Amino acid sequence: MHPHKFPEIFSLRGETALITGGGTGIGFAMARAMHSAGARVVLVGRREAELAAAEKKLGAGASHVVHDITQLGAAAALVERVTREVGPITCLVNNAGIHLKKPAVDTTPEEFQQVLTTHLLGAHALVRAVVPGMITRKHGTVLFTASMASLFGIPLVIAYTAAKTAMVGMVRGYATEFSSHGVRVNAIAPGWIETEMSRKALDGDPARKAKILGRTPMAKLGSPEDIGWAAVYLASPAAKFVTGVTLPVDGGASVGF
């Protein structure tokens, strides 16, 4: 076994991470943790004001680009721009997504397709644009934000469940194609995390909050930084033999009763 200095094995110095949905919530938490670990981070999203505010919080080594990932034909131009302005992308974080809470029988094909396009086709367009360069350099990581809905049934989110479940299959498929070329592909499946969005949802619904805490063995919500540091690990040399996995960061929710 080669000796490693403890912090260095988790360092992302020299890496450039493109993070979709990176301006807020879990995406920003991943950006902040990766930035803290030494990576240059490029925040991508649709809202200029949120991205600019997030970049300002991070400071030097962070930048942002306004981009809609559902514009599938624009992925190559985005990657070319980031490569030109910041450098080759060595870590792609497919985190952007939309939610749809609706009974399954009321979910229209158009609504279903919109969720799939954002989570799956938008992510695949970026993979197609980014990964060839990683393969050429024989170095890169791709991360996806999966969900508890990837692992078990949750009512009223059928389109989201389909998208997040398919995502886990894509991670396995990409990993088998790319890993021999030095490109690892993994996912993180967050449990119930305390964000502004979740607070709004749960504070007015004590029964739902009690149900969540009741099925989470650690009996609490996670924090966004829990996801951020998991992303750092999976993108770092510490995880150099880890590919094709979906890592639940969920306080035990996916195994609890």
Indicate the DSSP class of residue 121: I
The string of DSSP letters for 31-69 reads: HHHHHHTT-EEEEEES-HHHHHHHHHHH-TTEEEEE--T
Residue 160 annotated in active site = yes
> Which residues touch 84 (CB under 8 Å, ≥6 apart)?
none
Instruction: Spot the catalytic one: 28, 160, 178, 233.
Output: 160
Q: State the Cα torsion 76-82-88-91 to the nearest 10°.
A: -80
Tokens at residue 108, please?
């229209």
**Burial class of 103 by CB neighbour count within 10 A (0 to 12, 13 to 18, 19+):** exposed
Alpha carbon 243 to its chain's center: 15
Q: How far apart are the first and last CA of the chain?
A: 39
Q: Which of 13, 29, 9, 235 is nearest to 140 (CA)?
A: 235
Pairing of strands 62-66, 40-45: parallel
**Which residue type sits at 65?**
V
Active site residues: 160
